[in-house]
Structure 1
């Protein structure tokens, strides 16, 4: 029974990977929207875009690691 609950928990933790993909799409979409409104300021905000994408992806990687830990370490 305990192994089954670990797999259910791993599946729930893996939802974070999908949420990270949504977050990256949100960051990139908002950057593109702002860049189209003000193209001259887009070059200055590129570093901020990459930082936002990195944070969103890091959360996805953390949730993936939690899922792996729940599946194989329990």
Structure 2
């Protein structure tokens, strides 16, 4: 009986790890694609992509367009850096 429960737990662990991995890959794709659009016209594109990605992972959203529209994502709008300025591009 104990080996049957152990086998069931092992199968559940394997199935859940596949689900978690696919969720992480989807989130990375979501943030990457949204930030690519957001930073397409930025003069410092690499920096923009870095901070946009950080903000996207925290807030799970990125405002539409290349500039402004931050009211569409209040979490993204309200994140501040150590100097009190907007952290998100």
Q: What are the ranges of 5 or more consecutive residues in structure 2 without an aligned counterpart?
A: 59-89
Pick 1 or 2: higher relative contact order, CA cutoff 8 A, min separation 6. 1
Task: Determine the structure 2 residue equivalent to 1:7.
Answer: 10
The root-mean-square deviation of aligned C-alpha atoms, in Å, is: 3.1
Q: Which residue of 2 aligns with 1:72?
A: none
What is the match of residue 26 of structure 1? 30
Can you give the 5+ residue segments of structure 1 that lack an aligned partner in the other structure?
55-74
Q: Distance in 1 between matches of 2:52 and 2:37?
A: 14
CA contact (8 A) 2:42 2:48 kept: no
Across the two proteins, how many residue pairs are aligned to each other? Answer: 55
Structure number with larger C-alpha Rg: 2
TM-score if structure 2 supplies the norm length?
Answer: 0.45
